A and B are shown apart, each in its own frame.
Chain A
Amino acid sequence: MGSQHPSDADKIAKALGADRVVSLERLPSQGPLDLLELRADIQRRLRSTGGRPTDPDWDIRRVVPFRRERWQELERLAKLCELEGQRVSPSQLAALLIERGLESLKKSVGH
């Protein structure tokens, strides 16, 4: 129940006598802590085995189209996620964000 299914939230709201419920997880961002958390996740997952650091669990490569502005955003964010000289590429960041988006979608539809 770390992220509650809507029916859990309804049940809790009723049990507490709450007048309003605000979902925090659907906010696009909860502030600068989000970026710190994202950076920590990237640092945890990208490993170097001699070459450029990558996530050892990634085993498929695909070409994904982007709008130019989105790619530029990814470049900017990837730069912010670099730590101690470890380079993070925009495509690595995109892969991680897609995974997060899929997880979030799964939670919101209850699968």
Chain B
Amino acid sequence: MKDLHEALGAGPPAGTLQVTVFIPSMDRDEQPIPQASWTAECLAVLGRLFRGATAFPPGRGVWRDDERGGRLVPDDTVLVTSYVDPASLTDDALAELRAFLHKLGREGRQGEVGVIIGGNYYGIQEYDMP
């Protein structure tokens, strides 16, 4: 069988690392946040850093806020995913991704902001000050 990229008329495979950012719909006090604009900003960041990204429609979700007695916060989360060339995951790219994630956590008043990179989930609870 031909290589898949050859069979598809595509370039050589590049994006082998999956990066997924969770964009929440609520803050930790169950107040809505502007999810559409956060999603647009996330798409712009991932698109700029990694050449492309896709936002999936919100799925029903829930998050347990352990710092507030394990209260369950309902959250219809948007997943923004990008398939990334591992070589693109540079220190500069991680710094820019960090800036976005910490801004989302801080300004979106989140108990935790999450991102999956490859086979790991990274949870951020303490945010950088601007």
Contact = CB atoms under 8 A, between A and B. Distances in A.
Given A12-B94, A16-B115, A17-B102, A23 B120 contact: yes
Interface in A6-25: 8-9, 12-13, 15-25
A111 B120 CA distance: 19
Interface in B67-122: 86, 89, 91, 94-95, 97-98, 101-102, 112, 115-122
Interface residues of A, number: 19
A1 interface: yes
Contact of A9 (B94, B95, B101, B120): B120
A19 B126 contact: yes
Chain B interface size band reads 20 to 34
Given A1-B89, A2-B16, A16-B124, A25 B119 contact: yes
Interface of B: 16-17, 86, 89, 91, 94-95, 97-98, 101-102, 112, 115-128
Interface of A: 1-4, 8-9, 12-13, 15-25
